[in-house]
Amino acid sequence: MSQYKINPLYDLKDLKLPKLWGRPMKVLAHLLNSSYANPVVKRQLLKDGGIESLREVQLDQAPVMMPKPDSRTDITPSDARDSITQFCARMNEEQNGTSGFYHSFRDFAVDYRTGKSSPTTVANRLIETLKAQKETINAITNFDEQDILHQARESEKRLREGTPRSPLEGVPVSVKDEVDATPYPTSVGTQVYGKDGPAQEDATVVARMRAAGCIIIGKANMHEIGIGVNGYNPHFGVCRNPYHLQHATGGSSSGSAAAVAAGIGPLSLGADGGGSIRIPAALCGQVGLKATWSRISEHGAAPLCWSVAHLGPIGANVDDVAMAYLTMAGPDPKDSWSLDQPELNMIGYGNSDLSGFKTGIYHPWFEHATPDIVDACRTAVGHLIEHGATEQEIFIDKLEAQRVAHAVTISSEMLTAVEREYLKTPMKFATTTRIGLGFASAFRSTDYVKAQRVRAFAIEEFNRVFKEVDVIITPTTAVTAPGINNKSLPQGESDLASMTQLMRFVTATNLTGFPSITLPVGYDEKGLPVGLQITGRAWEEHILLRMAKVIEGHINKKKPTVLYDILR
């Protein structure tokens, strides 16, 4: 960690917990799940994990069970719609992508329009790539050759007839395996779910991408039930980072980030309950957006963690993520929480003049990362200042209580979600999953209610800060991609200390529901990517995308070790 300034009000700490694999990890899983285990052991483990910071905090707030923000906005519906029309027109006018060696959706559109390629040509190259990637990064765990070819032929027919569905026509998109997509089962990364056959219908986000002409190419690897952030999976195999095959992808949307980083389509659909879009996107050098809670329908996603869950896109550049966001977001009758929201807008996108925008930095938090990360993120903030934004120091209270409140919330909701299957066949779940669920079973009912009171406090605290600044900027993770412990395979390892480093900056916005985006801003001394996170007010994704676009223009991206070309 860098030598961040000691601040008595900053309370996040580095957890000192051992890394376990093999037999010691199995023993810990047994202790946490056995009714005969010494309760003193469980109490000590919870204490080591920081539970006392939650139990001892004194608050006046009543619990907030769902972080639904006020939907009022100063932007008129006509201005919002006009901004999207202008955005789409600009995307059609610009002929090439912005990621160099990565192909954007516009590269596919140009090659299809000029006859340099076609959806069926791409599909055939893609199928060969999907076979090959199993021996390298293992990002896509389930694909159907005939279904891919059928979608490609239908897309090619629309292009030939001059009736493309959208600028995303014929663009390959993968889907995290906790989101329903026909004709695939939804395994949620387990050997328990999905055994009753393929999904009966697409999730809303998948249906909207398919309606835009995208080719759904298969299901992406993930950390089992999304309960971890390193990308180990004993059932489908570890997912490896395209920048360094002996390093982790992060998770839990491990395959989604790795697929995009390796060129297996410009976009993937991920899910984020505790940084699970942003962490792997950052570790794999990609852009990932977690929108405002309920901005994007959850219909068709595995119901794992209702109050902190967000679906969203991972892409190779900001333009692609923006286009995917506009395609999948908005009200959905099948998700009642999504109905009350302001219209989508892209006001100001592409305007690099950031005069008048205030960026907020809580320095002890920002600097609580490795020096390589802090330096790269500090340089990225400088690019915003160069474009007219100003920097303002801020303070955010009770971050440690917020961290623990999120941990209690997500793990308790996950235990509730899988409880029936878990009680029937606990040994079918990964050892690391059993450790996470074992911790959840040790929480008190009062812990969960207290966590929701902390949520209420955190929402008020972030809203207070957003009266002073427009965005809050931090690194995305406190460390770059950890090495893969090959001795621990296939079960993987339990490394709660590393997990908290990877999650340090991301969980607050899962708890509060505010939107956040990550984008690559540099590399460490090993050449592993560094991510920067920008967080904004509810419903202001357009500002996050605008700022990310400005920073992206200053970043020189490096090629990953594993990079496929399915277009040219």
Residues with catalytic annotation? 176, 252, 276
Sign of CA dihedral 153, 156, 162, 164: positive
Contact 277, 229 (CB under 8 A): no
> What is the C-alpha to C-alpha distance for residues 107 and 95, in angstroms, rounded to an integer?
7
Give the CA radius of gyration of the chain: 22
> What is the C-alpha to C-alpha distance for residues 149 and 217, in angstroms, rounded to an integer?
10
Distance from chain centroid for Cα 295: 15
Q: What is the DSSP letter of 326?
A: H
Contact 548, 534 (CB under 8 A): yes
Strand-pairing partners, residue 531, are 520
Q: Alpha carbon of 351 to those of 73, 77, 236, 346, 524: distances in Å?
A: 21, 20, 44, 11, 30
Residue holding tokens 């100063």? Answer: 74
> What is the C-alpha to C-alpha distance for residues 459 and 454, in angstroms, rounded to an integer?
9
Among residues 544, 104, 69, the alpha carbon closest in space to that of 346 is found at 544
Residue holding tokens 């209702």? Answer: 306
Sheet holding 172-176, edge to edge: 140-142, 215-220, 172-176, 267-272, 310-315, 287-290, 516-523, 529-536, 471-475, 358-361, 390-393
> What is the C-alpha to C-alpha distance for residues 565 and 103, in angstroms, rounded to an integer?
8
> What is the C-alpha to C-alpha distance for residues 269 and 202, in angstroms, rounded to an integer?
13
500-470-372-511 Cα dihedral, nearest 10 degrees: 10
The single-letter code of the amino acid at 463 is N
- Count Cβ neighbours within 10 Å for each residue of 346-364 and write b for 16 or more, e otherwise: bbbbbeeebeebebbbbeb
